[in-house]
Amino acid sequence: MLKLIWIVAILFVQDSNWNTNKNGVVADGYDVVSYFDGIPKEGKEQFVSEYLGAKFYFQNQNNLKKFEEKPEKYAPAYGGWCAYAMAESGEKVSIDAESYTITDGKLYLFYNRFGKNTLKSWQENESELLKKSEINWQTKYQH
């Protein structure tokens, strides 16, 4: 019994791979479905869903329903961490929820502060950076 309690405690303490804001919401509270409509919008607290231990907010009931039908389609790559940083260093770097791209049906978010928008750097060599970010994410964070 003590062994079971210890295992549960370890699992509870482990850091999540989701990039969440102070309210525990992915994509800084933006509606991840809205990105696929081409206009990212902030979600509303009353339209909330949980996926793999993380909360997601949505603009409306329709987007919430779309997400719940196919969360893997809408959830951002790399847990919502900056895709460019994942490629370059494999580090978890925060994002600007309005700096994004959708490639091959997947949402990628980027750091954009202090005059540095990593989306621009990503777009210069996307195919190579995509390969590197996948390798880093898998080797460092997907055990």
- pLDDT at res. 16: 81
Report, as an integer, the average pLDDT of 111-119.
94
Contact between 10 and 35 under an 8 Å Cβ cutoff? The reply is no
Report, as an integer, the average pLDDT of 92-99.
97
Mean pLDDT of the chain: 90
- pLDDT at res. 4: 33
- pLDDT at res. 133: 98
Q: How confident is the model over 6-60, as pLDDT tens digits? A: 333 333 334 589 999 999 999 999 999 999 999 999 999 999 999 999 999 999 9
Residue 95 has pLDDT above 50, yes or no: yes
Q: How far is CA 137 from CA 2, 14, 62, 115, 128, in A?
A: 33, 17, 31, 26, 14
Of the candidates 24, 41, 23, 19, the residue with the CA atom closest to the CA atom of residue 32:
41
Report, as an integer, the average pLDDT of 83-110.
97
- pLDDT at res. 15: 54
Give pTM, 2 decimals. Answer: 0.88
Residue 1 has pLDDT above 50, yes or no: no
- pLDDT at res. 106: 98
- pLDDT at res. 109: 98
d(CA 19, CA 58): 17
